[in-house]
Amino acid sequence: MARSKTSAAWLHEHVNDHWVHQAQKDGYRSRAAYKLLEINEKDKLLRQGMTVADLGSAPGSWSQVAARIVGDHGRIFALDILEMAAIPGVDFIQGDFREDEVLARFEALLDGRPLDLVISDIAPNITGMSATDQARSAYLCELALEFARQHLKPGGHFLVKVFQGSEFNAYLAEMRSSFTQVVSRKPKASRDRSTEIYLLGKGLR
């Protein structure tokens, strides 16, 4: 079956992508590692000994970055609906974040530990229908924010991928009500044509 022009263009872009090649060279599982590395360089989110939750973690590049920086005295707790190969220093649960039973298992894994940082690169399976995709993405972002509010220690930080659409301003306002400062970041490793942006909530109120 012939590939569509769109998928052929994506494949060409992917094969010729600087960040994809860099990830292969540096041993990261995806180009997304460089998004977190760049944000961390600017905002100093990760430090040795931290306890971190990684939502939407597969294939695991954010967990790789976080585990390397927090070191042996830190802990990373990761969750994704997709499988994720084991990473030293990372406790992983596979399941759908939207399901209460999965969330309960993840919270049991945390065992009451307050988190220093919640990172969320979570995104829905894309249907190609922008209204549907926007709504699904916004719902996941809401759940991630609610999780951060419940499990971050006071003063903790929350980094989340959002897409700029009709729900963006309302979500931004919600984040501002929960954190002392909210900033946006568009890392170089984000594709130019993508509407994704990262919001960073600093200092849980």
The binding site for S-adenosyl-L-methionine consists of 60, 62, 80, 96, 121
Tell me whether residue 161 is one of the annotated catalytic residues. yes
Q: Crossing angle, helix 61-70 and helix 33-43, to 10 degrees?
A: 40
Residue ranges of the annotated binding site are 60, 62, 80, 96, 121
Catalytic entry in 25, 44, 161, 188: 161
Cβ pair 203, 149 in contact under 8 A:
no
Alpha-carbon separation of residue 60 from 67, 133, 176, 179 (angstroms): 10, 23, 29, 27
Q: Which residues contact 20 (CB under 8 A, 6 or more apart)?
A: 14, 31
CA distance 52 to 54: 7
Known catalytic residues? 161
